[in-house]
Amino acid sequence: MFAVTATQTDPDHPLAGLTLGEHPEPETPDGWTTVSVRAAALNHHDLWTLKGVGIRQDRLPIVLGCDAAGVDEDGNEVIVHAVIGSGPDETLDPRRSLLSETYDGTFAERVAVPRRNLVPKPAALSFEHAACLPTAWLTAYRMLFDKAGLQPGSTVLVQGAGGGVATALIALGRAGGYRVWATSRTESKRERARELGADQVFETGARLPERVDAVMETVGQATWDHSLKSLKPGGRIVVSGATSGAVPPADLNRVFFLQLSVVGSTMGTRDQLQRLAVFLEQTGVRPVVDRTLPLAGARDGFAAMAEGGIFGKIVFSG
């Protein structure tokens, strides 16, 4: 079968290890099944894998990709939950992994997954939209509706509008009844964020009209100081990523004096993915797709992500 694999890692030239071509068919242990992939979405995780982050060298070559929607062996349209783990919250299993870390991922004609990782795809969602949900959109859903601890009408600041999680946060927050503010370095992305549902948009680091109830943080070091200073006393930062660096000054005096909370969030559970799919079905919200490419054109998608000029998700269609 055709697949997109990581055959080597290089932190400086990640695309050097990106290989497209024939790959063995997936094996299905007991309790697993095979999904014919109709659409798969690209994440920064895939680029980091090519850089050597979070992957054991003895796992190479490995099929890349965390996210997919497709058809199972019984003909059901399904969404694939990317977290391989056990327990009521798979993300807390210390032995958990994502597809493409220990097991072959979704950038292939077929992918093997545990049966429990399949979620019904609502008929109202296209395969392309459904494929965007398991990583970026599920991460955003958990941040907003689980970790933030907010009531509708609260004000949420989303740092770094443009990435997959950030665009999901804006769209989901708007649909969930929050007042959503967003930041970006570029005017074009700020305008796109406004079109997506942000009430107000600001340059990165700009002084806000008032302090917010919570900050959704995926950027890290470049925006951390601004995130802390933007919170009301008792406010909360929910952090699920640190693309600009993971070791900013903590500013602990501000944290304890204003009684701020910093909450980590990683992915989401299978049940949350199922509720997210229903939420989109009921509200009409759909993921922002920057571009759709055939799987054979995956190199162009990886290059676009590496350059950083995208807004929303890159999807590979089967």
For the segment 244-267, the average pLDDT, to the nearest whole number, is 95
58 and 116 in a single domain? The answer is yes
pLDDT of residue 80: 98
Q: What is the pTM of this model?
A: 0.95
DSSP code per residue over 91-105: GG-TT-EEBTTTB--
What is the per-residue pLDDT across 110-157, written as a single tens digit (0 to 9) for each? 999 999 999 999 999 999 999 999 999 999 999 999 999 999 999 999
For the segment 239-255, the average pLDDT, to the nearest whole number, is 92
Range of the domain at 200: 137-264
Give domain status of residue 278, yes or no.
no
What is the per-residue pLDDT across 189-232, written as a single tens digit (0 to 9) for each? 999 999 999 999 999 999 999 999 999 999 999 999 999 999 99
pLDDT of residue 186: 93
Please count the helices (runs of H) and the strands (runs of E) in the chain.
9, 18
Give domain status of residue 282, yes or no.
no
Predicted confidence (pLDDT) at residue 188 exceeds the cutoff of 90: yes
Give domain status of residue 304, yes or no.
yes
pLDDT of residue 103: 96
241 and 301 in a single domain? The answer is no
291 and 180 in a single domain? The answer is no
Instruction: Count up the domains in the chain and report the number.
Output: 2
127 and 144 in a single domain? The answer is no
pLDDT category, 253, cuts 50, 70, 90?
Answer: very high
7 and 125 in a single domain? The answer is yes
153 and 234 in a single domain? The answer is yes
70 and 186 in a single domain? The answer is no
141 and 243 in a single domain? The answer is yes
Predicted confidence (pLDDT) at residue 31 exceeds the cutoff of 80: yes
Give domain status of residue 271, yes or no.
no
For the segment 272-279, the average pLDDT, to the nearest whole number, is 98
Half-sphere exposure of 183 (CA within 13 A, CB side): 23
pLDDT category, 59, cuts 50, 70, 90?
Answer: very high
Beta partners for 98? Answer: 83
The domain that contains 159 carries what CATH number?
3.40.50.720
Give domain status of residue 120, yes or no.
yes
- The helix (run of H) or strand (run of E) holding residue 139 is helix 138-142
118 and 156 in a single domain? The answer is no
pLDDT category, 318, cuts 50, 70, 90?
Answer: confident
Give domain status of residue 121, yes or no.
yes
213 and 112 in a single domain? The answer is no
Distance of alpha carbon 74 from alpha carbon 291, whole angstroms: 30
Give domain status of residue 277, yes or no.
no
236 and 192 in a single domain? The answer is yes
Predicted confidence (pLDDT) at residue 79 exceeds the cutoff of 80: yes
Tokens found for residue 233? 């006393």
Q: In what order do the strands lie in the sheet with 231-239?
A: 200-203, 179-184, 155-158, 212-217, 231-239, 261-264
pLDDT of residue 244: 87
Give domain status of residue 73, yes or no.
yes
The domain that contains 64 carries what CATH number?
3.90.180.10
pLDDT of residue 169: 97
**By three-state DSSP, how is residue 246 classified?**
coil
104 and 161 in a single domain? The answer is no
The mean pLDDT value of the chain amounts to: 96
Residue 250: Cβ-neighbour burial (10 angstroms; 0-12, 13-18, 19+) = exposed
